[in-house]
Amino acid sequence: MLDALKLFLTIIEKGGLSAAGRELGLSPASVSERLAALEAHYGVALLTRTTRSLRLTEEGRTLAEGARRLLAESEELESRVRLGAEKLSGPVRLSAPVDLGQSRLVPLLDRFMEQHPDVSIDLDLTDGFVDLVSQGMDFAVRYGSLADSSLKAKLIGENRRVVCAAPSYLQRRGRPSHPDDLVHHDCLIMRFGLNSDRVWNFRIHGQPHSVTVKGRRTANNGELVRRWCLQGHGLCRKSVWDVQADLDAGRLVELLPEFNADRSALQIVYAPTRVQPRRVRSLIELIAAELAQPTTRRDE
């Protein structure tokens, strides 16, 4: 049964029966037969298949969550028997925003892997949405509110988004003194999937105030938006976690701090698995402890 569940998860993660077969050294016919046997065992359809796509049914999603829990417990048991209770081993798959991942997480992961040489890391850096269950992620570090109520979250700290610019841009275009001045500036736009972040939120005299910004450059990569800003191509709105070093060094200047109202959570989210492997728990605890340090503005 564990082998069948592993095959089922591989089909989901690889996005197809043929790809799963190549990963596990099985023929497409063998993969199809084993999937059919698993569906017959539970008496339900686990996947909806077309010529171009493969999607989990509700029963398939439930099985995927349980399968990951069972396989994690199996790996944990084998690790304890073979290597002893104190040694961590096995893979950890996680997702994080591009900037935060490169600047803050990668050094932590390097240190974690040095301390635990039998642990491997699969890091997905993206500023877009990641379905943790269907993509087989152990957890993700995310900004903002928890959209998927089926996930659990561990709060790390508060994320403050700031408007900033390079000194070279401010010398050329001037410094905005009010949020409404932003309509006269080139703004660097982040795109999340199909949605562009063109509405920037502020607070004036205690009341919310939104400004629709415009600009010539839009990207779905936060690191690229930051680089454009450093090069003086426009104003950007970024998490303070991503630009704190630039603010401290004077490479960027925070703008309109007295109007800043855009605060949200920085958190670790994960599927509601009853038991996570110790390697996953240990890495989550390390990330939460290291990133829980408060960030401040340069003038505070």
Is residue 251 a contact partner of residue 166, using CB atoms and an 8 Å limit?
yes
pLDDT score, position 213: 96
Is residue 264 a contact partner of residue 166, using CB atoms and an 8 Å limit?
no
pLDDT score, position 148: 55
Task: Please list the rounded mean pLDDT of every run of 10 residues in the chain (300 residues).
Answer: 88 87 89 91 86 82 84 72 68 90 91 93 87 83 72 84 96 96 96 86 90 94 93 94 92 93 81 76 92 52
| Contact residues for 43 (Cβ-Cβ < 8 A; gap 6+) | none
Q: How many CB atoms lie within 10 A of CB 162?
A: 23
State whether residue 251 is helix, strand or coil: coil
Is residue 159 a contact partner of residue 263, using CB atoms and an 8 Å limit?
yes
pLDDT score, position 146: 63
DSSP H or E segment with residue 268 = strand 263-270
Strand partners, 202: 209, 260
pLDDT score, position 246: 95
149 secondary structure, DSSP code:
T
pLDDT score, position 83: 56
pLDDT score, position 84: 53
pLDDT score, position 172: 96
Q: How many CB atoms lie within 10 A of CB 28?
A: 14
Distance CA(107)–CA(125), nearest Å, equals 14
Structure tokens at 172: 């050329």
What's at 267, amino acid-wise? Answer: Q
Domain boundaries, the chain: 1-87, 88-300
Distance CA(272)–CA(208), nearest Å, equals 35
Distance CA(2)–CA(166), nearest Å, equals 55
Q: Is the pTM of this model over 0.75?
A: no
Is residue 277 a contact partner of residue 83, using CB atoms and an 8 Å limit?
no
CA angle centred on 300, ends 143 and 298, rounded to 5°: 70
Is residue 164 a contact partner of residue 229, using CB atoms and an 8 Å limit?
yes
DSSP H or E segment with residue 167 = helix 167-173
Level-2 CATH architecture, domain 1-87: Orthogonal Bundle (1.10)
Distance CA(179)–CA(225), nearest Å, equals 20
Rg of the chain's alpha carbons, rounded to an integer?
A: 23
Is residue 257 a contact partner of residue 112, using CB atoms and an 8 Å limit?
no
Fold of 88-300: D-Maltodextrin-Binding Protein; domain 2 (3.40.190)
Structure tokens at 11: 């089909």
